[in-house]
Structure 1
């Protein structure tokens, strides 16, 4: 079982490893390594009000040992339409254990019951089969395709749009 929690100053090393994993840069719009200094500054402001900064990051951790295994993000919060984008990253060493699906279900509940969002959405590169299966299993509906939307090392890739009404 996993749970979600707020970011803590002690998460610096975990975030440093996660943010500097080049294998996930393509799905996180990252082009360069992130310094510990930049992450330390980020952690100092990470507790800012969701409604003010319009984003929220929570740590996914195992309840057995309390170790972080990933993060979930809500971003681009739109207060008028009560929606936000969703991102999820699980450490490469912790994938294929069901953590992403559990975390997404917890995030959906939090978004619905605490933040009172009407919907959440995700953009997934069409070749990312694991993410496509994840969002389908989490009752997201595939609502469209954006052609040549994402620039990848191999050229341009289509993006699949997913939506979940809460």
Structure 2
């Protein structure tokens, strides 16, 4: 099953995606605004993908594919995840990143966020999607605002990067606000 956007398609992550995920997670430029955690081996990332529960209502992980060179099919460029979804609350939290830097700034991230939010509202019947984002991550903020997310609060000094403590915004998108 694929979830189609205007420029991307979303699909379940596969163990074969481990190498790309491992590479992205070890690229300081890709991980600049992310809570990177600790370095993992390629074998550990592959084991995590192999042992991961199948996508279900409470936790959906999609690979973001974009068209590759003409007639070359699709290329994995990033991932999106909706987690913590519960029918009782009608909410889920969004995580997203594009690991392939040659796709940055070209609308693929915006389409991936819009597509996964459309999936959240239509297929999962959620009422709200939330996220947190470092206040200095201008590119991500531009994407989220373009899709319709609004700032709902500020978490003070919860992210450390380059020797400084930075704030994060909490942002939300209600069903019916998707642009």
Output the TM-score relative to the length of structure 1. 0.89
Select which of 75, 85, 90 maps to 2:93: 85
Which ranges of 4 or more aligned residues in structure 1 deviate by more than 6 Å? none
Other-structure match for 1:44: 50
Given candidates 147, 158, 165, the residue that maps to 1:149 is 158
CA RMSD of superposed structures (Å): 1.7
Deviation at 1:129, TM superposition (A): 0.4
Distance 1:24 1:78, change over 3 A: farther
Pairing partner for 1:94 from 80, 89, 103 = 103
Residue in 2 that maps onto 1:131: 140
Following superposition, the deviation at residue 28 of structure 1 comes to 2.8
Q: Structure 2 residue aligned with 1:8, among 14, 19, 43?
A: 14
Aligned to 1:66: 74
- By how many angstroms is 1:10 displaced? 1.8
The number of aligned residues is 164
In the superposition, the TM-score normalised over structure 2's length comes to 0.83
Judge conservation of contact 1:25–1:31 (CA < 8 Å) in 2.
no
Does 2:44 match 1:35? no
Q: 2:169 aligns with which of 141, 160, 164?
A: 160
More helix by share: 1
Offset at 1:47? 4.8
C-alpha displacement of 1:23: 2.6
With 128-137 and 17-26 compared, the bigger mean Cα shift is at 17-26
Shift in Å, 1:48 = 2.0
Task: Give ranges in structure 1 of 5+ residues lacking alignment.
Answer: none
